[in-house]
Amino acid sequence: MSEPKLLTPKVAIIGAGPAGLSAAKKLAGRSGGEVLVVDREKEAGGIPRHADHLGYGIRDRKRFMSGPAYARALVAEARNAGATIMTRTMVTGWADDKTLVATTPHGRVLIRPEVFCFATGARERPRTARMIPGTRPDGILTTGQLQNRVHLNHDAVGTKAVVVGAELVSWSAVMTLAESGCRTIALVSEYDKPESYGLFTGPGQLWFRTRVTRNAKVVRIHGKERVSGVEIEHTTSGSREIIECDTVVFTGSWIPDNELLRMAGVTLDPASRSPVVDAVGATSKPGIFAVGNLNHPVETADVVALEGENVADRILEHLRGTSSPMEAVAITVDDPIAWISPSTYTPRGPRPARGRFVAWVDRLITRPIVTVRQGGRVVASKRLWWPAAPGRAFRIPSSLLQNVDPTGGDVRISIG
């Protein structure tokens, strides 16, 4: 057996979605060497490739684009800038602490750059990970599987569906189902308020002739060869009902694709399971950066694209040796905040991308007051004019931490 080919780019980016491609576009031609992007899929572009509806490119491109058009634009710009994109390349592990092992259609390769940037994103928890009992019939999907079948393979998926979840990605699933000729009977949400914006929830129920069933959870799936229905429990009353359907789509409940970082010994946040990063995307391992929904599952494509550009600037500083270590403090959170990213803060250092921290909450607070404390004293407190809601990112301005003392110990953030 021949030895694997050794690739030695200046920067290796793992993941060719919006974050990775945006970083590659900015790094190529400026890093002093090759910028290599690898992705396991047949085509680069990430999730937008098979999310064939409008809503992409608003923040980063100031345009209203479909997912596939947005993905094509990102790929073209990265290639035109000089980045090398290798698809159908599955990274399988580490040969040593500076070298990744990958499998390609032409055999194994070793990838040993000066800097790694992981942009592997997040995935939805499937039915098995949610431990929902019942039979194992055909017709059970996640949003990604659904969109892949409909938009890439043009397969039929069913006629009547139940969508588990009511967040933004859930309505994306509803749109894809409608395109395939499958009507969504109901979206089932465990919360007393739908996770998505009212702009989607109200008109969406009318347009798609569906309903959002709140305070409910799926407790069993019925069917033999094909799904015949889902059994839901209304959590306020304890009563149960069966909704007849032939398709079930599990949405949300995100898991960061952290396996390679975990194998490398990168410190992970115990709540989100994402890597612990600072404001510039640096992990606990020197020379390893992380960006996008790997750090905070899950944000929109245009937001993570802007984060990709931000991390590129920091990688260039690292390569030039112009970045210098600074005193950092850890950030902890109180309920109902589940986690926050970045979870370390450097008072005299650069701000996070877009000047925002990204947090996830477990309870709706319509007009949240964010309070920052350090050493028992209140550093800042401010009412924000957007809700903290389950199922979508809650963005906290980094300016609230501008008076944090670099030697004052951990910072605690709460909302009320």
Domain boundaries, given as residue ranges, for the chain:
5-123+255-320, 126-252, 329-415
Q: Which of 212, 147, 207 is nearest to 180 (CA)?
A: 147
Count CB neighbours of 244 within 10 A. Answer: 12
Give the H/E segment covering residue 242. strand 240-244
Do 5-123+255-320 and 126-252 agree at the fold level?
Answer: yes
Second-level CATH architecture of 5-123+255-320? 3-Layer(bba) Sandwich (3.50)
Regarding the domain delimited by 126-252, which CATH topology (the fold level of the hierarchy) does it fall under? FAD/NAD(P)-binding domain (3.50.50)
Q: Which of 42, 44, 38, 40 is nearest to 118 (CA)?
A: 38
**pLDDT value at position 162?**
97
Q: Which of 13, 103, 24, 89 is nearest to 288 (CA)?
A: 13
The conformation of residue 239, written as its DSSP 8-state character, comes to -
pLDDT in tens, 223-260: 999 999 999 999 999 999 999 999 999 998 899 999 99
The sign of the dihedral angle between the CA atoms of 392, 398, 404, 407 is: positive
What is the mean pLDDT, run by run of 10 residues, along the chain of 416 residues? Answer: 88 98 96 96 93 87 92 97 97 96 95 98 92 94 92 88 92 92 95 73 84 94 96 95 96 94 96 94 95 93 95 93 77 96 90 94 93 95 94 93 92 96
**Contact 409/393 with Cβ under 8 angstroms?**
no
Q: Is the peptide bond before 342 cis (omega within 30 degrees of 0)?
A: yes
Count CB neighbours of 380 within 10 A. Answer: 17
Distance, CA of 152 to CA of 180 (rounded, Å): 12
* Alpha helices (runs of H) in 182-237, residue ranges in sequence order: 198-207
Give the chain's end-to-end CA distance (angstroms, integer).
62
Place of tokens 């898991």: 255
**Contact 168/200 with Cβ under 8 angstroms?**
yes
Distance, CA of 49 to CA of 67 (rounded, Å): 6
What pTM, to 2 d.p., does this model score?
A: 0.91
Give the H/E segment covering residue 378. strand 377-383
**Contact 216/235 with Cβ under 8 angstroms?**
yes
**pLDDT value at position 199?**
65
**pLDDT value at position 1?**
57
